[in-house]
């Protein structure tokens, strides 16, 4: 047995957030059958507290950065940033889920356990420094979300969403793994730092064709997970069919974690061959933005519209990856933070509007919202303006830094086309505002009760943070700038 076989206490501390969440998740599954039908609310409280404690552990682990478990994990600033981000997203998703599940009559411990397991996978994706660890994190997150997407198992739309997500997700994972296998065969390792060292060595230039092909295969897997063109077609169906809080979770948390692993792999392991993958991501970024925005123009379903809008936002993020610089990485981190805030707010409102059975998810159901619930309408306007990228909101600085990073890397055309795209996007976001403020409520519309406490807290906190980041972006931006350098 090698001397370093037993991990040190320090390494366990670096893995502490995941360990805690796994333990609590298992505990929830044990408690679930023991609790009566009235005792389900405590599961939400326990999992919320566990996520809050995990944030504390993640920050504590981030104070002392370094590798863990023979380089499988790398707990650096980047990992800590994304761990905290996905944990916070998980907490907000619990806030918007509780009442939804109660209305649907499916409040139970499994939902929260699956949510925690999925968050564990996302934390691992953010922190893994090895292609195999990355694969395990990705699957841990995905398998739990397959179940969550079909959580209301008697609902046909839920079934369909889960089936499509499962089949296409596994298909993409197979491509990713095949790329990993070829990378392993060529470089003899799956550690990202070691792959980088191999590719830097000029003696290995003869193998670059194989490495390029392996990178392309892995790109297929990554592009699926971040819903980038040409592998974005699953997203609208899956996001529309899944329960609204789960859609929020998949389109915000899973996407943030997927971008974290995408950026880390491209910026550490495959950075030496950047000339080969840059054109590929350039085209994909442009196609993703254009397809997302153009398709969103003609949607009538609110969830489907937000799905296409999330595809378009993935396109902007790909622009920052194309820039492959530290500023690009920092702008990805800032943009994902602001996107998470405004999307969580928007989805909280969708959950609120949809009501039991998700009967009201058409854009027309927003008509006259400004008269029926003035506060909700006003908050929705903030999120929509932030999506559009209007100054004084977080979305403005997110786009600003991404296009600045693109210009710094001489991607002038991509930046121009991206800006044109965000002008197109303004149309469908502003159309929602017009419907809310200019159209009268439908005849005999059902009365909208005041939002429940979870929805209200989510809306107000995310709206406040969206505005705060739009006025003082430097807090998150400094943090992102400091964490954007990877350990190599």
Partner 1 sequence: MPPIPTVVPMSWYLILSAILFTLGAAGFLLRRNIITVFMCIELMLNAVNLTFVAFSHQLKQVDGHIFTFFVMVVAAAEAAVGLAIILTVFKNRQTLEIDEISSMKL
With binding defined as CB under 8 A, does residue 177 bind partner 1?
Answer: yes
Which of 69, 171, 400, 437 touches partner 1 (CB under 8 A)? 171
Take residue 159 and report the two structure tokens written for it: 């079934």
Around 320, how many Cα atoms within 13 Å sit in the side-chain half-sphere? Answer: 27
Q: Are 286 and 417 in contact (CB under 8 A)?
A: yes
CB of 222 to partner 1, least distance (A): 16
With binding defined as CB under 8 A, does residue 132 bind partner 1?
Answer: yes
With binding defined as CB under 8 A, does residue 136 bind partner 1?
Answer: yes
Which of 53, 60, 163, 485 touches partner 1 (CB under 8 A)? 163
CB of 204 to partner 1, least distance (A): 14
CB-based contacts of 204, cutoff 8 Å, min separation 6: 187, 198
With binding defined as CB under 8 A, does residue 166 bind partner 1?
Answer: yes
What burial class does residue 392 get, using C-beta atoms within 10 Å of its C-beta: 0-12 exposed, 13-18 middle, 19+ buried? middle
Which of 156, 203, 206, 440 touches partner 1 (CB under 8 A)? 156
With binding defined as CB under 8 A, does residue 146 bind partner 1?
Answer: yes
User: Residue 68 — φ and ψ, nearest 5°?
Assistant: -140, 150
CB of 165 to partner 1, least distance (A): 9
CB of 106 to partner 1, least distance (A): 13
With binding defined as CB under 8 A, does residue 362 bind partner 1?
Answer: no
Q: Decide whether 183 or 322 has the Cβ nearer to partner 1.
A: 183
Q: Are 12 and 42 in contact (CB under 8 A)?
A: no
Q: Decide whether 71 or 441 has the Cβ nearer to partner 1.
A: 71
With binding defined as CB under 8 A, does residue 181 bind partner 1?
Answer: yes
Take residue 457 and report the two structure tokens written for it: 């807290």
With binding defined as CB under 8 A, does residue 241 bind partner 1?
Answer: yes
Residue with tokens 């193998």: 207
Which of 35, 159, 439, 452 touches partner 1 (CB under 8 A)? 159
Which of 76, 107, 237, 358 touches partner 1 (CB under 8 A)? 237
Please, which residues bridge with residue 362 across strands?
301
CB-based contacts of 154, cutoff 8 Å, min separation 6: none
With binding defined as CB under 8 A, does residue 437 bind partner 1?
Answer: no
Beta strands in 137-205 (DSSP E): none
CB of 484 to partner 1, least distance (A): 30
Around 245, how many Cα atoms within 13 Å sit in the side-chain half-sphere? Answer: 30
Q: Are 196 and 143 in contact (CB under 8 A)?
A: no
Residue with tokens 């948390």: 253
Which chain residues interact with partner 1 by CB under 8 A? 132, 135-136, 139, 143, 146-147, 150, 153-154, 156-157, 159-160, 162-163, 166-167, 170-171, 174-175, 177-178, 180-182, 184-185, 188-190, 236-237, 240-241, 298, 304
């Amino acid at each position: 047995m090698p001397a370093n076989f037993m991990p040190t206490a320090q390494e366990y501390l670096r893995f502490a957030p995941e360990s805690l969440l796994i333990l609590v998740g298992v505990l929830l599954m044990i408690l679930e059958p023991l609790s009566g039908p009235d005792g389900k609310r405590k599961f939400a409280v326990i999992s919320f507290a566990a996520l809050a404690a995990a944030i504390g552990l993640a920050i504590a682990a981030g104070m002392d950065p370094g590798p863990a478990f023979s380089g499988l994990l790398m707990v650096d600033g980047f990992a800590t940033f994304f761990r905290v981000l996905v944990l916070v997203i998980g907490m907000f998703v619990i806030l918007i889920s509780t009442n939804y599940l109660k209305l649907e009559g499916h409040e139970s411990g499994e939902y929260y356990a699956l949510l925690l397991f999925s968050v564990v996978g996302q934390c691992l994706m953010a922190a893994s420094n090895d292609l195999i660890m990355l694969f395990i994190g990705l699957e841990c997150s995905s398998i739990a979300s397959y179940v969550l997407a079909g959580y209301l198992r008697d609902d046909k739309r839920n079934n369909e969403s889960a089936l499509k997500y499962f089949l296409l997700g596994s298909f993409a994972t197979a491509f990713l793994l095949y790329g990993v296998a070829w990378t392993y065969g060529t470089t003899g390792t799956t550690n990202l730092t070691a792959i980088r060292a191999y590719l830097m060595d000029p003696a290995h230039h003869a193998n670059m064709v194989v490495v390029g092909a392996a990178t392309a295969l892995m790109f297929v897997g990554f592009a699926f997970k971040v819903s980038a063109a040409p592998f974005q077609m699953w997203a609208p169906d899956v996001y529309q069919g899944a329960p609204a809080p789960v859609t929020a979770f998949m389109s915000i948390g899973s996407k943030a974690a997927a971008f974290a692993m995408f950026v880390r792999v491209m910026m550490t392991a495959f950075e030496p061959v950047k000339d080969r993958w840059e054109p590929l991501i350039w085209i994909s970024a442009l196609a993703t933005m254009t397809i997302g925005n153009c398709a969103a123009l003609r949607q009538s379903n609110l969830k489907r519209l937000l799905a296409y809008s999330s595809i378009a936002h993935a396109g902007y993020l790909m622009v920052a990856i194309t820039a492959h610089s530290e500023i690009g990485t920092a702008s990805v981190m800032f943009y994902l933070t602001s996107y998470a805030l405004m999307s969580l707010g928007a989805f909280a409102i969708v959950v609120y509007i949809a009501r039991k059975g998700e009967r009201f998810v058409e854009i027309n159901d927003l008509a006259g919202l400004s008269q029926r619930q003035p506060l909700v309408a006003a908050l929705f306007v903030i999120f929509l303006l932030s999506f559009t990228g209007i100054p004084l909101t977080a979305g403005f600085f997110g786009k600003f830094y991404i296009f600045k990073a693109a210009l710094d890397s001489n991607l002038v055309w991509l930046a121009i086309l991206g800006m044109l795209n965000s002008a197109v996007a303004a149309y469908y976001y502003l159309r929602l505002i017009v419907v809310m403020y200019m159209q009268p409520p439908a005849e005999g519309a059902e009365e909208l009760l005041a939002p429940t406490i979870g929805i209200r807290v989510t809306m107000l906190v995310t709206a406040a943070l969206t505005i705060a980041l739009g006025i003082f972006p430097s807090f998150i931006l400094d943090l992102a700038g400091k964490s954007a350098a990877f350990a190599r």
